Amino acid sequence: MLEIHFVYDVVFALNSLKYVLDNTPPNWIGSDPCGSGWEGVRCTNFRVTTITLTSMGLTGMLPGDIESLSELQTLKNLTISFYLRDLSYNKGLTGPIPASIGNLKKLTNLILIGSGFSGPIPGTIGSLQQLVMLSLNSNGFSGPIPPQLGNLSNLYWLDLADNKLSGAIPVSDATTPGLDMLTNAKHLLFENNSLSGSIPSTLGLVQTLEVLRLDRNSLTGPVPSNLNSLVNVNELFLSNNQLTGSLPNLTGMSVLNYMDMSNNTFDESDFPTWFSTLQSLTTLVMESTGLQGQIPVSFFTLPQLQTLVLRNNQLNGTLDVGSSYSDQLKLIDLQNNFIVDFTQRPGFKIKLILAGNPFCQETEGTSPYCGLQETNSTYSSLENHCIPATCIAHQLSSPNCRCAHAYVGTHKSSSTAIIIGSAVGGSVLVLLALLAGIYVFRQKRKAETADKQNNPFASWDPNKNSGDVPQLRGARSFSFAELKKYTNNFSETNDIGTGGYGKVYRGILPNGQLVAVKRAQSRSMQGGHEFKTEIELLSRVHHKNVVSLVGFCFEQGEQMLVYEYIPNGTLKESLSGKSGIKLDWMRRLRIALGTARGLQYLHELANPPIIHRDIKSNNILLDDRLNAKVADFGLSKLLGDPEKGHVTTQVKGTMVSNFPHNPDLKNQQ
């Protein structure tokens, strides 16, 4: 009876969409969406788990009785995990989101990107307590941000960018919720709207934040002084507003790698000394921000610095980047300042733009930098390799570290032979014990050496968050029990992919973050070196077009990698139509450019450079905005790896997945 009721609800809900929308997939026929293979409907064990109708040219309006899907949701804990995952990139989908969407109480993902939705965002979305991802960007939504969204205590991702939203950023008070209550949020993306008012100081309470984008709005007033309490933020965009007052002091934001405060009306100030404390900074963009004075040489020594854009300011004096500048630094754009000279040192190959500075007037523009461009510890040990025992009164520690009674009798001539014999016998026993100890010690060393040679993880310490791996940065060591819990015991409903390495499961961390858990084949060390390589490589790279590593697990015979969750799957799935996302040529071009940028970062800016060697559509993931992210580093190599000597850059891996109809290409390496 449950199965009949289940099928009825699925058919009713999906046909409700079919009859009110135009251009639905032509194979939406029959009474069984799983058995008939309806396009955009993904099933697991004949149960609907995801509805994805991206880029299908759908037209019409969402039905007001969309709550008919709520009955389907009530079965989640019994048989399914349902996602109204994606109706994105259907420009013909217009009108408002019906308020009845608030009845889909089990909804976890709501992704409506790049369509034609308009009107206010319904405050009823704030009642979807299971929601972890809400992406409504690139539509025509207007009006204020509903303060009820602050009730989404499990929300991890909130993207309202590229709409027509207005009014102030809502904050909580005694009677009304606000966005400062999103204590598990990591991404708040509000760029390119018409938001006004000031940046709320209570935003500093959302200390889980990793990305904050408020750029291209009409925000006014000073930046809150407590913004530096957001110590987990790695991307901060405040550019193109009407912010005033002094530049905020962001000392303490040690993981900040991208900052843009351009085109605001901050007070004039000398180049801040606290910039030099941002040890993770890769990109600093401060165009038209009233900066003046000289840039200190120490700033260029930031180890991760790649790009510096300080156009249209009042920087002056002599530019000197020193001789110890970051080996990743590629661009310094200082157009339209008051720099009068440049101290050039041997071997300087950084792209430097000084057009519009007195320096270029004095050199009459002949300098190559004047073209207009866009921009041994000691230790002691016992001979017998043992620890002296703690002995009670009238006992002494013997040479083999055991307790014994001291001899206190008298020596008589008749017992001399006994004494000598005992001494000799004891010496022999001690010698034998010593030899046995040396033998055991050597065998143990051999076993450890063999283990290290056969097991790439033998020297790793799983009890340390850093993994005790050289150059491992930011990746967390998970226990098997933790990942088992986060993936609902590796349930089939959380299975989102399978490959030669093993299976990939969707998981939710306690803070609400969605992750993808890549699990090797059960109790198999096959691919162990690839596993180790991927951890070491991904923990040191950070780029918007490269998938981020969250952590790993290597206990109980398991090898698992934990990545950020990329909602739109692989490029191959979209190209083949499996994902339901249809890619026009402009989106394909953007994906190609994003992939190229990711590879350029790996080749030129990663230290040391990384060669992927297995680029194919299966290894390019698409995020919620269809941005490309390079993934799967199991076959990658480091250039200049001293342990490997010369490293070949030839392509490796299985090519057949990209050319399914050509058997001659199968498993070429």
Contact status, residue 279 vs residue 257, Cβ threshold 8 Å:
no
Tokens representing 219 are 């925000």
Q: What SS3 class is residue 507?
A: strand
Q: Let me know the angle formed at the C-alpha of 305 by 300 and 308, rounded to the nearest 5 degrees.
A: 75
Which of these is catalytic: 86, 215, 333, 614?
A: 614
User: Do the bridges between strand 140-143 and strand 164-167 make them parallel or antiparallel, or are there none, so unpaired?
Assistant: parallel
- The values of phi and psi at residue 100, to 5°, are -65, -10
Structure tokens that stand for 586 in this block: 């402009």
Exposed, middle or buried, 198 (CB in 10 Å: 0-12/13-18/19+)? middle
DSSP state of 546: B
Output the six-digit token pair for 119: 């009107």
Distance of alpha carbon 418 from alpha carbon 505, whole angstroms: 74
Q: Two tokens at 635?
A: 């076959």
- 333 has catalytic annotation: no
C-alpha to C-alpha distance for 193 and 237, rounded to whole angstroms: 14
CA dihedral (608, 613, 615, 616) in degrees, to 10, reads -160
Distances in Å between the Cα of 333 and the Cα atoms of 17, 261, 448 are 52, 15, 53
Please enumerate, by residue number, every residue annotated as part of a binding site for ATP. Answer: 518
For residues 219 and 665, give the distance between their C-alpha atoms in angstroms, rounded to a whole number: 56
Give the residue ranges of DSSP H helices in 268-383: 358-362
Question: In 328-338, which positions are buried (b, 16+ CB within 10 angstroms) versus exposed (e)?
Answer: bbeebbbbbbb
CA distance 323 to 280: 20
CB contact at 8 A, 93 and 58: yes
Q: Is 284 helix (H, G, I), strand (E, B) or coil?
A: strand
Structural tokens at position 628: 């490309």
Residue 260: strand pairing partners: 237, 285
Q: What amino acid positions are annotated as catalytic residues?
A: 614
